[in-house]
Amino acid sequence: MREGGLYYRRSRFSTRLLTDRLYTPSHFWVREESPGLWLVGLTKFAARMLGDVVDVSFDLAPGAEVGLGDVVGSFEGFKARSDLYAVVAGRYAGANQELDTDVDVIDRDRYGRGWLYAVEGRVDPEARDAQGYVALLDEVIDRMRGSGRR
């Protein structure tokens, strides 16, 4: 079930941030699915930098221990390919099985059925609520805009 949202717009980027989850400095969202079990997904900002997701793969078996920043897999978009890092430390609970047959769900329903993987454990202590993520987006977008003026 989705909670209320916060509309965000800066420069040419806009998004709706859901308030029932936390957002990491690496532009992932995390939502507690059940006590201690966290679903992880891509924010719209991350997806915009990556481009439409065309492939995602996971390297871990369910039950594996993961630490913050450990590589759990990779994803490829039209603009870039990148490792997929853990933003929750604990026991890897597995990937979203829907991605095996419909990777486009990440772009169609990124804050719902398009989640990436789940971990039972502790969220990155630098994760923040929607208001905190707005401040981070402001900094990142302003820095990007500044570098484009040179």
The whole-model pTM stands at: 0.89
Whether 84 is in a domain gets the answer yes
Whether 140 is in a domain gets the answer no
In the chain, the number of structural domains is: 1
Whether 1 is in a domain gets the answer no
Q: What is the pLDDT of residues 20-39, one digit of tens each?
A: 999 999 999 999 999 999 99
Whether 115 is in a domain gets the answer yes
Q: What is the pLDDT of residues 42-93, one digit of tens each?
A: 999 888 888 888 899 999 999 999 999 999 999 888 878 889 999 999 999 9
Residue 84 sits in a domain of what CATH number? Answer: 2.40.50.100
Whether 61 is in a domain gets the answer yes
Describe the chain by its helix, strand, coil percentages, rounded to 5: 25, 40, 35
Q: Which domain holds residue 84?
A: 21-123
Whether 107 is in a domain gets the answer yes
Q: pLDDT band at 3, cuts 50/70/90?
A: low
